[in-house]
């Protein structure tokens, strides 16, 4: 029997939002220009040694987990340009987990000196021994087991799982924190965003492609993008774009530079190819006319639309910079230099150094007699301060150091006052652990590990 009752027709779903209804994650994934972003990476990625293992256009080949571990550890708080020579020398000397597990701290320090943050080196040595003893030298595929190894945190674990095993694992470093906090307008402190399980980690995991090899490409692309495009102080969307259309302000100038470069190269080779120049000119014009070439994420970037690019991510208020002063004494006797080894309880433990006095007064407020009294009390040596050789400036995270290098020599009738190799703690009257002394020739100086400051002093001495 037919009913005359009117029934409301079902609302037809909107094809653009049907799949994303009540699903915020899918909505954000659909907004992110993944295709354009990966195309940018394919076109603009830098040529780096470890990328020689990477295939062609956005094809990622699995990398040695040990090499990934070493590289990512060195890159912590250190720029790629600085790390490159260290990484290459390290991999030649310690090509495997087994070779590193058999190395002493002093031997490994020779290849790590100058990078700073020497706690990383101790973690690498401890982690290598753990891998050999507990995992037969093979990196586990399980995240929890990786995190149990010294020197491997959430970021490094994600890098190993993604780049070496092609697992669907996110990688979040400082560059990615900056990119995603700007793209999504995350108004939080950078240190909080970098913590595992934070909003940035969740966004990154949400954006990961389904295929493991694609995840590796995407992770690497995000780090590269933050390093060369979405920079902290000079993001490309602000420095290379105009307010109207996001295109390069100096397109004609760039084209002129490009044409001049190719002409110069061909003239140097003794041949000029007009067709080649025309093809390259056309290619560059097309490339410059794309907004995505400036920044593929600019269209949907929240911080860019709000004009808050430089305001995100938020940074913690930095403590006031402290100025410290140090005096380094070059004591040379019978062609050998005196060096001391820091104890385990001191900062930069295990590092060798020339005898050093740290003080909070400028050098002008201290006399040579003050320095001589220190050397006599602290080192048990009766010396005469000759003259100042050189002044060095060093910058660290929270303080700036002024270091003056003095030349010292023995008195004519001087002798070592006592045989005890003890050094008084400069902050109390207690005696610290014993420091080792070594008298080294100029050639021997190159065989021991020194921090970046003492490496500069060593280079100065060997050059003079």
CATH 3.40.50.300 fits 20-228, yes or no: no
Comparing 59-63, 113-117, 338-342, the range with the smallest average pLDDT is 59-63
* Domain(s) of CATH 3.90.79.10: residues in the chain: 322-463
The continuous run of DSSP H or E covering 55 comes out as none
Omega cis (within 30) before 16: no
For 166, left (φ over 0), alpha (ψ -120 to 50), or beta? left
Tell me if residue 106 is catalytic. no
**Distance from first CA to last CA of the chain, Å, rounded?**
110
What pLDDT score was predicted for residue 250?
A: 37
What pLDDT score was predicted for residue 450?
A: 85
Name the residue with higher pLDDT: 433 or 74. Answer: 74
Task: State residue 15 phi and psi, 5-degree precision.
Answer: -60, -25
Distance CA 393, CA 325 (A): 10
Comparing 126-130, 291-295, 427-431, the range with the smallest average pLDDT is 427-431
Instruction: Give, in degrees to the nearest 5, the angle at Cα 172 between 228 and 91.
Output: 75
pLDDT at 35 > cutoff 70: yes
pLDDT at 434 > cutoff 80: no
Residue 392: band (very low, low, confident or very high) from pLDDT cuts 50, 70, 90: very high
Distance CA 224, CA 230 (A): 9
pLDDT at 254 > cutoff 50: no
Name the residue with higher pLDDT: 398 or 105. Answer: 105
pLDDT at 331 > cutoff 70: yes
What string of DSSP letters covers 285-331? HHHHT-HHHH-TTGGG-HHHHHT-TTT-SB-PPPPPPEEEEEEEEEE
Task: State residue 389 phi and psi, 5-degree precision.
Answer: -95, -50
* Domain(s) of CATH 1.10.340.30: residues in the chain: 20-228
- Average pLDDT over every residue of 220-246: 78
Residue 418: band (very low, low, confident or very high) from pLDDT cuts 50, 70, 90: very low
* 197 three-state secondary structure: coil
pLDDT at 97 > cutoff 80: yes
Name the residue with higher pLDDT: 171 or 450. Answer: 171
Of 176, 175, 230, 232, the residue nearest 205 (C-alpha): 176
CATH 3.40.47.10 fits 322-463, yes or no: no
What pLDDT score was predicted for residue 34?
A: 92
Distance CA 216, CA 221 (A): 8
Distances (CA, A) of 157 to 118, 136, 181, 273, 383: 20, 18, 22, 50, 52
Average pLDDT of the chain to the nearest whole number: 77
Distance CA 315, CA 184 (A): 17
Residue 366: band (very low, low, confident or very high) from pLDDT cuts 50, 70, 90: confident
What pLDDT score was predicted for residue 27?
A: 47
- Average pLDDT over every residue of 51-64: 65
What pLDDT score was predicted for residue 284?
A: 57
Active-site annotation holder among 28, 44, 72, 280:
72
pLDDT at 259 > cutoff 60: no
Distance CA 402, CA 323 (A): 8
Distances (CA, A) of 183 to 171, 259, 396: 17, 35, 31
pLDDT at 354 > cutoff 70: yes
pLDDT at 290 > cutoff 50: no
pLDDT at 253 > cutoff 60: no
Distance CA 216, CA 160 (A): 10
What pLDDT score was predicted for residue 246?
A: 39
What pLDDT score was predicted for residue 383?
A: 77
Question: What sign has the CA pseudo-torsion 161, 167, 170, 173?
Answer: positive
């Amino acid at each position: 029997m037919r009913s005359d009752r009117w029934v409301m027709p079902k609302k037809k779903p909107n094809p653009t939002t049907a799949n994303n209804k009540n699903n915020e994650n899918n909505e954000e994934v659909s907004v992110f220009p993944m295709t354009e972003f990966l195309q940018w990476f394919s076109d603009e990625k830098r040529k780096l040694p470890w990328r020689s293992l990477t295939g062609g256009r956005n094809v990622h080949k699995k990398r040695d987990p040990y090499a990934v571990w070493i590289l990512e550890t060195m890159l912590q708080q250190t720029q790629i340009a600085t790390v490159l020579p260290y990484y290459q020398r390290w991999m030649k000397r310690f090509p495997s987990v087994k070779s590193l597990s058999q190395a002493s701290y002093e031997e490994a320090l020779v290849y790590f000196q100058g990078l700073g943050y020497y706690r990383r080196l101790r973690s690498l040595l401890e982690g290598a021994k753990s891998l050999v003893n507990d995992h037969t030298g093979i990196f586990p595929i399980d995240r929890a087991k990786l995190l149990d190894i010294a020197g491997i945190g959430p970021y490094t674990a994600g890098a190993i799982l993604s780049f070496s095993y092609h697992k669907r694992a996110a990688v979040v470093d400082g560059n990615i924190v900056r990119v995603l906090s700007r793209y999504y307008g995350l108004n939080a402190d950078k240190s909080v965003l970098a913590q595992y399980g934070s909003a940035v980690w969740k966004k990154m995991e949400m954006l990961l492609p389904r295929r493991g090899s694609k995840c590796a490409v995407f992770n690497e692309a995000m780090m590269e993008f933050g390093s060369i495009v979405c920079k902290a102080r000079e993001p490309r969307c602000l420095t290379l774009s105009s307010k109207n259309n996001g295109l390069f302000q100096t397109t004609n100038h760039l084209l002129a530079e490009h044409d001049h470069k190719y002409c110069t190269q061909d003239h140097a080779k003794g041949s000029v190819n007009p067709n080649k120049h025309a093809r390259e000119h056309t290619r560059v014009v097309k490339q410059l006319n794309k907004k995505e070439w400036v920044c593929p994420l600019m269209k949907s970037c929240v911080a860019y639309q709000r004009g808050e690019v430089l305001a995100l991510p938020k940074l913690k208020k930095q403590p006031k910079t402290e100025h410290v002063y140090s005096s380094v004494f070059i004591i040379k006797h019978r062609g050998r230099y005196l060096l001391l080894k820091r104890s385990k309880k001191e900062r930069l433990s295990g590092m060798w150094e020339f005898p050093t006095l740290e003080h909070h007064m400028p050098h002008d407020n201290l006399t040579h007699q003050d320095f001589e009294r220190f050397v006599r009390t602290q080192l048990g040596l009766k010396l005469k301060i000759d003259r100042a050789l050189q002044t060095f400036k060093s910058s660290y995270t929270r303080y700036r150091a002024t270091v003056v290098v003095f030349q010292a020599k023995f008195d004519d009738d001087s002798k070592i006052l006592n045989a005890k190799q003890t050094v008084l703690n400069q902050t109390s009257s207690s005696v610290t652990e014993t420091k080792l002394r070594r008298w080294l020739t100029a050639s021997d100086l190159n065989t021991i590990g020194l921090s970046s400051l003492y490496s500069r002093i060593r280079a100065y001495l060997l050059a003079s």
